[in-house]
Amino acid sequence: MEETLTFVTLTLAATLRVATPLVLCAMGGLFSEKSGIIDVGLEGKMLMAAFFAAATASLTGSIWAGVGAGIVAAEVMALLHGVACITYRGNQVVSGIALNILAAGLTVVLGTAWFARGGQTPPLGDSERLMPIFFPVARDNILVYAALLSVPFTWWAIARTRFGLRLRAVGEMPLAVDGAGVSVGWLRYRAVLLCGLFAGLAGAYLSMAQNAGFSRDMTAGQGFIALAAIIFGKWRPFPAFGACLIFGLLDAVAIRLQGVSVPGVGEVPVQLIQALPYLLTLFLLAGFIGNAVAPKAAGIPYEKEH
């Protein structure tokens, strides 16, 4: 009995640990997508943040400088996305893909040039990492709590504030918002920058809490899983949070199921469990599990009539 309890507790803790960057990313992505700016560049923002967070933490020895650098790096990427998509009305998907590829290359190029460790940053010591606060076993660092708080915050900001009301309007019908005398561009910039803030925290979590340092491509598709979670949650904060937890649980279980034979099923391929978030999202998108409707103006650059 006690064994089962330990197993359940550990799996839940692992779920939360794996889900933290997904939750942060998904909440950031929600702000962006709700405002009508598609963000397939979550992955790149997170990767860039992870690199600059670890690099700065290792160079300065300061945790907060590291987290700050991660946020700044993600914000620079977010700003680039904003300039391309809002100011120059470029294609949002093209911009996001560009930033992903740029991040994948630039982190390794700069990492190799600065640290000469094949793209990795020097390993971070305990004083340079985000350490557990209450339960060392659960590794509950401050960003885990930040992720948990980000969900009600996002819900409140989108559903209960004047900013959120306008944000939703600008994602559905920017013309109406413009007509009411509110700047479409400025609203969208704020949404994109909020997205950068959360993605920055997610990146810092990856390289300074979950791992001790940056390694190349360490995001490994988590930005896209966060995107899948947004879709799975039908662009609502709490359901998206739920999707992140499910995807996190799948990941935590996948590690434990490696090489284990499940009674009645046999050995479940780890790759199948890893692909499940994508497969589930595809089933949802195909309309087999309810219907996911994106904000109406998502992906369409807004141009003033005159």
Partner 1 sequence: MSLVAPKSARRPLPGWVEIVILPLVNVALAFLVVGVIVHIIGVDSFQALKLLLVGALGSSEAIGYTLYYATNFIFTGLAVAIAFHAGLFNIGGEGQAYIGGLGCGLAVLAFDRYLPGPLLILLAVLAAAAFGAAWAAVPAWMQAWRGSHIVITTIMFNFVASALMVYLLSNVLRPQGSMSPQSRGFSEAASLPSMQAVLKSVGIAVAPSALNLAFALALLSAVAVWVFLWRTSWGYALRTMGHNAEAATYAGTNLRRMTMLAMCLSGALAAGVAVNELLGVHHRIVLDFPAGYGFAGIAVALMGRSHPFGIVLAALLFGALQQGGTELSFEIPAMTREMVVVIQGLVILFCGALAHLPRPWLQALVGRRS
Site of interaction with partner 1 (CB under 8 A) = 38, 40, 80, 83-85, 88-95, 97-106, 108-110, 112-113, 116, 119, 221, 224, 227-228, 231, 269, 271-272, 274-275, 278-279, 281-282, 285-287, 294, 300-301, 303
Vertex 73 angle, CA 68 and 76, to 5°:
125
4 or 271: CB nearest partner 1: 271
Distance CA 159, CA 164 (A): 6
CB of 33 to partner 1, least distance (A): 11
131 or 268: CB nearest partner 1: 268
14 or 228: CB nearest partner 1: 228
3-state SS track over 201-255: HHHHHHHHHHCCCCCCCCCCCHHHHHHHHHHHCCCCHHHHHHHHHHHHHHHHHHH
Distance CA 230, CA 42 (A): 12
141 or 222: CB nearest partner 1: 222
CB of 234 to partner 1, least distance (A): 13
CB of 152 to partner 1, least distance (A): 27
CB of 90 to partner 1, least distance (A): 4
179 or 269: CB nearest partner 1: 269
CB of 163 to partner 1, least distance (A): 26
Distance CA 53, CA 145 (A): 19
Distance CA 263, CA 140 (A): 33
85 or 209: CB nearest partner 1: 85
Whether 287 and 293 have beta carbons less than 8 Å apart is answered as no
Distance CA 67, CA 183 (A): 31
CB of 270 to partner 1, least distance (A): 8
CA distances from 80 to 35, 41, 100, 206, 213 (A): 17, 11, 12, 22, 26
